[in-house]
Structure 1
């Protein structure tokens, strides 16, 4: 084993080769040459005394050691990014980078006007937006602030409940003009349905209460909520959509409101250590205020 302390650049190259399976692809993503990436991997292997990749017919294949080291390298990446964000916030006034994570629909359809107003108020603020339906770990600083559709349970987090977003079945008026409006949940079997592809614990609970809304009955399936929303807007069929979002478009009509209604409990959360951060405090407040306006139908459209 080489006694040199591994350079962070080596870990970064290691993660990209893990993700892409190729030196050249990793180099393109990092803005480095293929030989440079190769030297980083060789140096890291020498420093650790391990073989991290084997050359295979389709690229670089990670060894068992590489797979086991991956979560630690990811933690290093998250810590390094958080280090730079915190450092960027020092100076006079509100400035620096804030990393926000939210679901696809909230991030694309709801947050843009909120973040635009925030940027106008604080022009030295930089926003990093992570679109993910997975709960990024605030405790490991993968994000500074999270918009979540469930109550955070970690004690080290500052969390504020915003309210409940209602979700109902909606269809484009063009689809309903052609196929009629269902009078009951049972009639959905005669309609073109839009829904999820991969089932989650939350969706399983929805299906248990609404047997007419299940994967086998969907003519359009997608693991992206944005793709499902696009299909509803295109007139493909009937699907689940956030009611405040549908209310912005007069062409989207809610069907069976008394029979199908879900609620998404909405929270904004951040690590308690960020209470004293001006950049995070103003962002947290803006998100909380903007999301409340969205729920009540008073948020400007994007």
Structure 2
């Protein structure tokens, strides 16, 4: 009979989920239990080990030195359990949760991750659309994609690909309202862009600093709404060039006067990278820009001269 001082494998696997996701609620969702069950299992593990395995940080829970020992054991258990099903279900298994802006999710992340999904029957993804500031510590997701370079600690941040915010309008709109010849002319036009009060990304906020105040316009938290409004002639759209490329009817305007380069960065917790499925997904996101460039004539320039080399940890160690 197992004594009350012997760590239960179930407690260890629950701890592993919290260590990787940074939140009890996120771990509970992945494990299919409630928050109190996660809290009770962590408390039982700490009582068995005689100390704290997690410590609260600014943006989520982080492992202590004792927790690092528990994590190594939990990863060995996870590996052993995975080996039991590899004969019937070979390859990567588990759930990978990724938060990213909606355009990136639809046009980049989904096709980048599709080969992994196809090749691994036991692997699943949850893609959460979110355009928000990167938190100091990853919390609730395995990978977060940010607009602009994030300031994080105890996490790996790697540039994914560069794009540019530019101004676009439909030919019908320009024929009716005239084409602006200078940035100052933009004051006589409507601008389809983000809702200022809801915008949390500095890089996207400063993108309008060069523009004068514009007429009342259609604002949205979705870049696809910016695109639809611009195609419909509701104003001039300020949007990523790779999104505007979805609508051949749009024409870029003021190209010489306005060009706001920007980049997406992928961020993941150090603990999350120890999961082979997360490491593979992270690599797929980082490398997909090269794949796209190879498939498309005149493909977007890679971020290669600024990209950090990414080597996923092996054997559960860093």
* Shorter-chain TM-score above 0.5: yes
The residue number in structure 2 matching 1:211 is 211
Distance change (3 Å), C-alpha of 1:234 and 1:295: farther
User: Given the superposition, is the C-alpha separation of residues 254 and 164 from structure 1 closer, same or farther in structure 2, using an over 3 Å criterion?
Assistant: same
Change (3 A) 1:235 1:291: farther
Q: Given the alignment of the two structures, is residue 286 of structure 1 paired with residue 297 of structure 2, yes or no? A: no
1:97/1:127 contact within 8 Å kept: yes
Q: Distance in 2 between matches of 1:139 and 1:82?
A: 19
Identify if the C-alpha distance between structure 1 residues 149 and 136 changes in structure 2 by more than 3 Å, giving closer, same or farther. closer
Correspondent of 1:90 among 82, 90, 100 = 82
Q: What is the rounded CA distance, in whole Å, between the counterparts of 2:93 and 2:265 in structure 1?
A: 24
Residue in structure 2 matching 1:167, options 161, 165, 168: 165
In the alignment, is the contact (CA less than 8 A) between 1:162 and 1:267 conserved in 2? yes
Query: Which residue of the other structure, out of 76, 88, 94, is the alignment partner of 2:24?
Result: 76
> Given that residues 97 and 126 in structure 1 are in contact (C-alpha distance below 8 angstroms), is that contact kept between their aligned partners in structure 2?
yes
Structure 1 residue 189 and structure 2 residue 187: aligned? yes
Q: Which residue of 232, 235, 238 maps to 1:234?
A: 232
Please state whether the residue corresponding to 1:240 is helix, strand or coil: strand
Residue of structure 1 in register with 2:304 after alignment: none
Relative distance call for 1:139 and 1:293 in structure 2 (3 A) is same
The count of residues paired between Structure 1 and Structure 2 equals 223
2:176 is matched with: 178
* RMSD of aligned Cα (Å): 3.1
Residues 118, 234 of structure 1: CA spacing in aligned structure 2 closer, same or farther, 3 A cutoff?
farther
Cross-structure match for 1:108: 106
TM-score (norm 2): 0.61
Distance 1:297 1:149 in 2: 24
* C-alpha distance in structure 2 between counterparts of 1:147 and 1:124, whole Å: 24
Q: What whole-Å deviation, never above 9, does each CA across 1:76-125 have from its counterpart, x for those lacking one?
A: 212323557x9699343211110001012212333332233331232321
